[in-house]
Amino acid sequence: MNSLETVMPDLTYLFINKNATVHYQKEVAELVETAIVNQEGHLTHTGALAADTGHFTGRAPKDRFIVYDDLTKDEIWWGPVNQPIDAGSAGILLEQVGAYLSDRELYVRDGLAVSDPDHCVSIRAITETAFQNIFVNNLFIRPGAADVNARPAWSILAAPGFRCPNPEQYGLRQSNFVIIDFTRQVILIAGTAYTGEIKKGMFSVLNFILPRRKRILPMHCSANTDTSGNTALFFGLSGTGKTTLSADHERLLIGDDEHGWDTRGIFNFEGGCYAKCVGLDRTREPEIFDAVRFGALLENTVFYPGSRTPDYENTAKTENTRVAYPIEYIAGSVSSGRAPAPKNIFFLTADAFGVIPPISLLSTTQAMYHFISGYTAKVAGTEVGVKTPEAVFSACFGEAFLPLHPGHYAELLRERLTGTGIRVWLVNTGWIAGPYGVGRRIKLDYTRAMVRAALAGSLIDAAFHTHPVFNLQYPTACPGVPDAIMDPVSLWANDTAYYAQANRLAALFVENFKKFETAVSADVRTAGPHIA
């Protein structure tokens, strides 16, 4: 028996032949060398590996399925987000992918999800490419020592080269797919090399098992704290400033995307960050810019001609350029991944309608309503065909990853807020003085000033007004911000036009919330806007 076989983990439960060639728990340097030799990527001028994910440069939500069986049939929030696939079909596809991988060199890595040792989940990822294995190393928590003989709680198979030849036979839409099997405890990813499917597949798993088993609230948010334990959470969809506002050099980063909250505090689910690279520069985001170094993985970026320097403004391959790196690449990050419960929570929205106040203080039921709503807006230029502002609602600021009904997570939020004095703020990082195309986007410096005042506890001392349509309580003054900026109505040239626009957006909130009403309590249903 050669040395390779002596350290080979048992993968036969995944239908991978015991004689398959396996590279187990390899160092990142060796994986980088392998990726270059296999022509999976190139080194940048800073030493990061730049790789392409091929046809798919983002997730494929219409090709994601959850196995429908006795464990899930009455629990999952079935619908467009969580599409069912029968257990028999999933089992056959697992066997096919296992057989496919058996004939290839495999890269196997053991890691953990959830930084709290009382709740951590062991993971074994089997990837077809070396660069995917680097991603696994960077994004999951790296164990002090891996046990090759231990059976992990969850297994992830990533086989980008596998194409299902007859997808309709198994209820698939096309040849690529992501299947989450809660009974077998396997995530099956095939036909796509986009590494975000690995990360978000496991996040979806945690969003199912942690609330049901341990009443932990899983959250799609960033988190930071300070040396006094003044923790803050930042929720927000793409373009709302979540990463920018949480990456504050005066505070300590806990994590940039996935966290849990139990009765003792919060904790990061991950061991790294997966940051967007569009427009990245050292001035605006120095921490992320400097994290693009050896060991980091760039995805789908373009080099300046004749160089190995990434051109972060070039989106020829995709708008969704990314970099994955260990969290310790961020100076001042919290190595334990844990912190006390938050004192302040920020829901960020880029309101292109120009009517949401710059910052508002929410009651518990309002927090639940806006948590379930998860509002922001698209503006012209962000997507083909978008000419005017369009409202976007993503439940719990992460609808695509919620196996349970959003009302379930909102009730867990109520448990965490009740009787604690935790403040929840709705922050408009979008437009003021009119809608997109008429008004202007609020200055980042003003938003930072409001967030810092909220964290310091001084914002609560201001006089507050009540918004007549959204019923939001908003402060009329903030240090470092002109008073006129704080009033969403006075900046508009015409009050009538303002309220017409506010009612228009309020109606969209009401219409969106109808799909949740039967599974949320009455006090939450009535906590939203009221059309005047």
Which residue in 34, 72, 155, 243 is the catalytic one? 243
Which residue in 23, 59, 64, 423 is the catalytic one? 59
Closest CA to 327 of 499, 188, 137: 137
Active site residue 322: yes
User: Distance between CA 411 and CA 415 in Å, rounded?
Assistant: 6
Q: Report pLDDT for 285.
A: 87
Amino acid letter at 134?
I
Q: What are phi and psi of 517, to 5 degrees?
A: -60, -40
The residues, ordered by sequence, that sit 6+ positions from 523 with a Cβ below 8 Å of its Cβ are: 365
Active site residue 458: no
Which residue in 220, 259, 408, 423 is the catalytic one? 220
Active site residue 184: no
Q: Report pLDDT for 243.
A: 82
Record the tokens describing residue 101, joined without a space: 């991988």
Q: Report pLDDT for 532.
A: 74
User: Distance between CA 429 and CA 327 in Å, rounded?
Assistant: 26
Q: Spell out the per-residue pLDDT of the chain, length 532, in tens.
A: 333 445 689 999 999 999 999 999 999 999 999 999 999 999 999 999 999 999 999 999 999 999 999 999 999 999 999 999 999 999 999 999 999 999 999 999 999 999 999 999 999 999 999 999 999 999 999 998 888 989 999 999 999 999 999 999 999 999 999 999 999 999 999 999 999 999 999 999 999 999 999 999 999 999 999 999 999 999 999 889 898 888 888 899 999 999 999 999 999 999 999 999 999 999 888 999 999 999 999 999 999 999 999 999 999 999 999 999 999 999 889 999 999 999 999 999 999 999 999 999 999 999 999 999 999 998 744 444 445 689 999 999 999 999 999 999 999 999 999 999 999 999 999 999 999 999 999 999 999 999 999 999 999 999 999 999 999 999 999 999 999 999 999 999 999 999 999 999 999 999 999 999 999 999 999 999 998 7
Instruction: Identify the bridge partners of residue 180 per DSSP, sorted by sequence position.
Output: 66, 187
Which residue in 242, 338, 405, 408 is the catalytic one? 242
Active site residue 119: no
Active site residue 378: no
Q: Assign 233 to helix, strand or coil.
A: strand
Active site residue 59: yes
Q: Report pLDDT for 229.
A: 95
Half-sphere exposure of 97 (CA within 13 A, CB side): 34
Instruction: Identify the bridge partners of residue 473 per DSSP, sorted by sequence position.
Output: 361, 466
Which residue in 64, 109, 322, 416 is the catalytic one? 322
> Between helices 495-513 and 364-373, what is the axis angle to 10°?
80
Which residue in 109, 184, 199, 200 is the catalytic one? 200
In angstroms, the first-to-last Cα distance of the chain is: 78
Active site residue 72: no
Q: What are phi and psi of 369, to 5 degrees?
A: -60, -50
Q: Report pLDDT for 247.
A: 80
Which residue in 46, 89, 175, 238 is the catalytic one? 238
Is residue 211 a contact partner of residue 75, using CB atoms and an 8 Å limit? no
Record the tokens describing residue 386, joined without a space: 């978008």
Active site residue 360: no
Q: Report pLDDT for 147.
A: 86
